[in-house]
Amino acid sequence: MNFTFLEVDNNSLLEKVFAFRYKVITEAEIFQGYVRDTEFTDNKESDKYDPFSIHFVALNDNGEICATVRLIHHCPYKYPTENMTFNTDNFQRDKLGEISRIFIHPQYRDLKTTKEIIGNFKKLLYIKLMDFGVEYSYGALMPNLIRLLKIFKMHYYELSEMQMLGSMGLRYPCILYTKKFGEDNPELIEAWKKKNG
């Protein structure tokens, strides 16, 4: 399988992202509380953070979305993870972001394919984190996703005990440090340097 990884740069593709997210969320048992509490329109899932996000997609050979992730940055609202209880004093607002909506179609969730998808998303995310001066990124993560991302050298650190994130279910409020992210993945630093000449 050959994938194309890119930043979403037009409304047509962004609408397809929202449709993809709707499909993943409505079909997954873990999100059923969120589904019950959300009034979706046009079979799409989006929220107030999307206009303040950079969206990335993986497309399969047929040009269909098979994975998504977003980076929320310089957001005027509380970040999603900030709806949980933990100490936020250590994080400067202008250097903060949040990585969320890490969704992979069930067809591509074997370990080898997931590693390829996350590996390419890591490169895109790191470049944007550096470009935007984001030094740390929140994540509201389930334990199994924390473990998986650590295997792929995305080391999130838990900020508090596991707790409910609204109707999205139990999560750990976590933080990813951009500096540590780069140190663990030197190829990302090289990619950013190459991109910036």
Q: Are 104 and 69 in contact (CB under 8 A)?
A: no
Residue 193 has pLDDT above 90, yes or no: yes
Residue 149 has pLDDT above 80, yes or no: yes
Q: Quote the CA–CA distance of 54 and 72 in Å, as a whole number.
A: 7
Residue 168 has pLDDT above 80, yes or no: yes
Residue 69 has pLDDT above 90, yes or no: yes
Mean pLDDT along residues 156-181:
95
Residues near 95 by beta carbon (within 8 Å), at least 6 away in sequence:
133, 134, 135, 136
Helix or strand run (H / E) with residue 103? strand 96-104
Residues near 184 by beta carbon (within 8 Å), at least 6 away in sequence:
153, 154, 155
Q: What is the pLDDT of residues 90-105, one digit of tens each?
A: 999 999 999 999 999 9
SS3 102: strand
Q: What is the pLDDT of residues 1-39, one digit of tens each?
A: 789 999 999 999 999 999 999 999 999 888 888 888 788
Mean pLDDT along residues 164-191:
95
Residues near 171 by beta carbon (within 8 Å), at least 6 away in sequence:
81, 84, 140, 141, 142, 162, 163, 164, 165
Neighbours of 36 (CB within 10 A): 8
Q: What is the pLDDT of residues 86-145, one digit of tens each?
A: 999 999 999 999 999 999 999 999 999 999 999 999 999 999 999 999 999 999 999 999
Q: What pLDDT was estimated at residue 172?
A: 98
Helix axes 186-195, 111-132, angle to 10 degrees: 50
Mean pLDDT along residues 61-90:
95
Q: What pLDDT was estimated at residue 191?
A: 95
Which residues are paired to 177 by β-bridges? 136
CA max distance for the chain = 48
Mean pLDDT of the chain: 95
Q: What pLDDT was estimated at residue 158?
A: 98
CATH code of the region 4-195: 3.40.630.30
Q: How many helices (H) and strands (E) does the chain have?
A: 6, 8
What is the pTM (predicted TM-score) of this model? 0.95
Q: What pLDDT was estimated at residue 166?
A: 86
